[in-house]
Amino acid sequence: MTSSNTLAGDAGSITRVAGIEVGHFTETRRPTGCTVIITREGAVAGVDVRGAAPGTRETDLLHPSNLVDQVHAIMLAGGSAWGLDAATGAVRWLEERGIGFDVAVGRLPIVPAAVLFDLLVGDMRVRPDAAAGYAACEAASTADPAEGNVGAGTGAALGKIFGIQRAMKGGIGTASVTVDGVTVGALIACNALGDVIDPDTAQVIAGARTDDGLRLRDTRRALLRGDPPQPLLAGTNTTIGVVATDAVITKVQAHRLAVAAHDGLARSINPVHTMSDGDTLFSLGTGRSGKSLGMMVLATMAAEATAIATARAARAAQAITTAEGLYLPAAADLR
C-alpha cells in the first residue's frame, strides 16, 4: 500500500476484496452518475449515517436486530433524492440473474442506497434513474474501478461553505489495505461541505478557495478566526461510500465496521458530519478469506482505507466548467 499523498503507485481498491464488483454509470448530458457495488453471493452488511441531511433507501433493514442478514448490492448516486431511483435498476438487473433473498415465490434482491446532492452542477433536471442503475450493473467487474469524475462522483464538489463559486471539484476514490491475508477496501464519493485533508500530513488537498479563487482558504482555520460561512441550503453536500472486507464478520460487527469507517472520514474531511451533509457509509462482509483478524484490527483497516480513498477522490478529480458558467478547479490546479 502506498501513502495517501500521491496517486502514483498502487493504493489498491475495493475490488481487491474477494466477492466485490463495481460498476459506474457516468451521465453525458450533465455531470452526474451512479456507482454500484455488487456482491452476487450476498454479503453481511451494516450502515452508519452521521450526516444530518441524508438521502437513503433500505437502511433500516441493516440494523443488527432486523431480519435480513445479507444484501446483494449497494447503490451510490448523484441527483439527490431523485437518484435513489437508480437502485430500482440494480434490483431489476439482479433479479434477471436469479440473485436475491429467497421469498419462496422468487428471489428479491436487497439493494440499499445513498445519494449525494449535485443539483447545483449543471441542469438539475438530468439525474440518475433506474436505467442508469441498470447500466452501472452492466458495467460492473472485479477490475480496479475508475476514480475521479465518474459514477456517483461525477458532479461532486468540495469546500462549499463559503459558496459554490469558491468550491472545488470532488469525485470518487478507492483504496484497500491487506493484513495477514485479509483485505479491507473502501470506495468513497466525496461531495463534502468541508475541505479534504491529507490523512498523513493534515494538509488541505482541496476545498474552499480564497476570494481571488487562486489559493486554498483552509476552512477550519477560517471559521476559527471568524470568517462567516455563506448561508447554507440543508442537504446540499454529502460524502457517501462503502467499506468492504473478505473477513468473516457478523451483522453486529458489520455495523461496527461502518461506524469505524467514519473515523477515516473524520481524518480526511474537515468539517465533517455537518447539519448540511448526509454522510453515510455502508459496510460489507463477504467472508471469502475464511477468517477474521478481530474487530480491533479490522476497524483500524476500515478507517485507514476510508481516509485514503477520500483523499484519492479529491486528487483524482478533474476541473470542470458547466454550461451555466460554474468553474470548479481540481486539486492539481491549485498546487
Encode pLDDT of 67-121 as tens digits: 888 999 999 999 999 999 999 999 999 999 999 998 899 999 999 999 999 999 9
Cα(65)–Cα(56) distance, integer angstroms:
19
CA angle 197–203–208, rounded 5-degree value: 60
Predicted pLDDT at 99? 96
Look at the pTM and tell me if it is higher than 0.85. Answer: yes
In this prediction, residue 53 carries a pLDDT of 83
In the chain, where are the structural domains located? 14-334
User: Any bridge partners for residue 74, and if so which?
Assistant: 37
Going from the C-alpha of 264 to that of each of 138, 199, 200, the distances in angstroms are: 30, 8, 11
Residue 239: closest CA among 165, 325, 157? 157
Q: How far is CA 130 from CA 46, 54, 93, 94, 260, in A?
A: 24, 20, 10, 13, 31
Q: Is the pLDDT of residue 323 over 80?
A: yes
pLDDT at position 4 over 50:
no
Report the pLDDT averaged over residues 270-281.
Answer: 90
Rounded-to-5 percentages of helix, strand, coil across the chain: 25, 25, 45
6-23: average pLDDT: 87
Span 183-197, average pLDDT: 97
Per-residue confidence (pLDDT) for residue 80, from 0 to 100: 95
Of residues 95, 112, 96, 104, the one with CA closest to residue 43? 112
The model's pLDDT over 140-153, given as tens digits with 9 standing for 90+, comes to: 999 999 999 999 99
Distance CA 308, CA 267 (A): 9
Helix (H) or strand (E) holding 280: strand 280-285
Question: Do residues 216 and 204 touch, judged by C-beta distance below 8 A?
Answer: yes
- Taking only Cα atoms into account, the Rg of the chain, rounded to an integer number of angstroms, comes to 18
Q: Which CATH class is domain 14-334?
A: alpha beta
* pLDDT attached to residue 223: 93
pLDDT in tens, 71-84: 999 999 999 999 99
> What confidence score (pLDDT) does residue 9 get?
60
Q: What is the pLDDT of residues 52-66, one digit of tens each?
A: 888 999 999 999 999
Percent of the chain with pLDDT over 70: 96
The mean of the pLDDT values for the chain is: 93
- Residue 209's pLDDT band (boundaries 50, 70, 90)? very high
Task: Give me the pLDDT at residue 3, please.
Answer: 34
Q: Using one digit for the tens of pLDDT, what is the confidence trace for 215-257?
A: 999 999 999 999 988 867 766 889 999 999 999 999 999 999 9
